[in-house]
Structure 1
Amino acid sequence: MNEESAHYWQHPALPGVDLLRAHYVRHSFGKHTHDGYVLASITAGVEAFHYRGGLEVAPAGSVALVEPDRVHTGHAGVPDGWSYQVLYPSSAQLASVAAELGAAPGSPGFGTAVVHDDELTRLVQQTHRAAEQNQVLAASTFLRLALARAVRQHSSQRLIRSAAGGVLGAATAARDLLVARLEEPPTLEELADAVGARPFPLLRAFRETYGLPPHAWLTQQRVRTARAMLDTGASPADVAVAVGFVDQAHLTRHFRRIMGVPPGAYRRVRKNVQETIGRSPAG
């Protein structure tokens, strides 16, 4: 694939974070810096970049970590170029996550510029995917988990205290809020603020109470609500909008994953069952 492409954007659920999805072959970045951090998941090919006095090589499956105000470049490491998905969080955002995890004061630094971390790769890509699908709770959750993973596993700073803390009743309150805001759920940060908790303790408490993180529980609740609406004869297109999915295709993907059949087929079966019951003679 020799055709270059780039999509640089922001999402309201990720304030202060730039996102880039791109494929470069001939393009090269001259010496430059960023105000914030760079987390770049290489999805194909190889990127090479000069950084901290040496040449770094980032192959597919790796994540490049660049600190604020560090001069670096960027160019193809193989003839076919490279593709990547990039997060550009601000210095304040990463410092906030680090502080919540118990890191020593100051901006986190990374001892290694290119890391091979399947979990971090997955989280960066999930952040992109959720933002592209306008899943605000999932996008904000995956972003925070990606930053936390980077700090925990790759920061050169030592964690000096535990970030654990009790969240009495917060999980239940968060669940009730998600039910009430099924169509327009809050971000993880907004959800935590609303129930008087911090994001990571809330994530732990919610998972322990309901077996899933809030964004995954929200998807299941949406499918559960969609099922009840389909039982009344509502169309899949109307149901998708009513429960907060982006479109019918988005509903279909999650409905089939959880229920085993697409919503249209489910609705037809339920309609046939109800009609059969309606025609049954009284006993």
Structure 2
Amino acid sequence: MAYQNRLYVWDDRFLYLTEGIASGLTQRHTVTLLVSLGEAGFRLGDEQGRVTDYPAALIGNQTARSLDASRAPLLSMNFDPQSYEYHCLAAMLGRQAVRPVIVTPGRIEPATLRAAREGTLDAAGLFRLTTALPRALSGYWPIRMPMDMRVIHIAQKIKKELPLTSTLEELAAEVGVSAHRLRHLFSDKLGISIKSYTLWARMRRAVELIAHGESLSVVAHDVGFSDAAHLTRTLKQFFGLTPSFVARGMGVRML
């Protein structure tokens, strides 16, 4: 059966299921789990042009990699720094930029995955799938981590108030710290700078708007880019996808 490419987006994660894709170097602010859904596997290339085959792999945040998954369907599960799984998988990666992983047989129900690929899995089942995927990895272990609610609040605010934006000083005042202290807290607790996180939030919003049929010029203005060409280049760098592919080549569901 042929399946449509599908993108499921939550506040702190997104799941991409594709029948085949090849892209140049991309660099995301997520920890990404890639799993081939066929026997052929996929290939990752680094900035030096070295290429390695994998059946499944973890990719660290801000790691530039090219992808060739043209030989088999692919699952791409991406966890935002705001999610608990991001930090568990980052600990599993350690200092490695890319790590081959093994998905324990039988831990993911084929019927659930098939329904996600067909677009018939409900919201509860989809979210349960995103939490089951990390736990299906051999060697995965939940970690203990201290979290600062001020950081969680600011991360949520950055996403939820778009296209409006607050200055760093305004955000800091909202949680009762200096701008310098907020920069340090955010990077320390989420593992990403507040500037990079804001750009990531804008890219996620851009995908949503494009999927809903907004023109590129409108989307570019909404997310703070000078023009549609700049938006297109940045979107491709982050997701490995062109706006036209997002608009016509996949089903997008915001959850």
TM bucket normalised to smaller? 0.3 to 0.5
Query: Which structure has the higher relative contact order (CA within 8 Å, separation 6+)?
Result: 2
Highest CA radius of gyration, 1 or 2?
1
TM-score by length of 1: 0.39
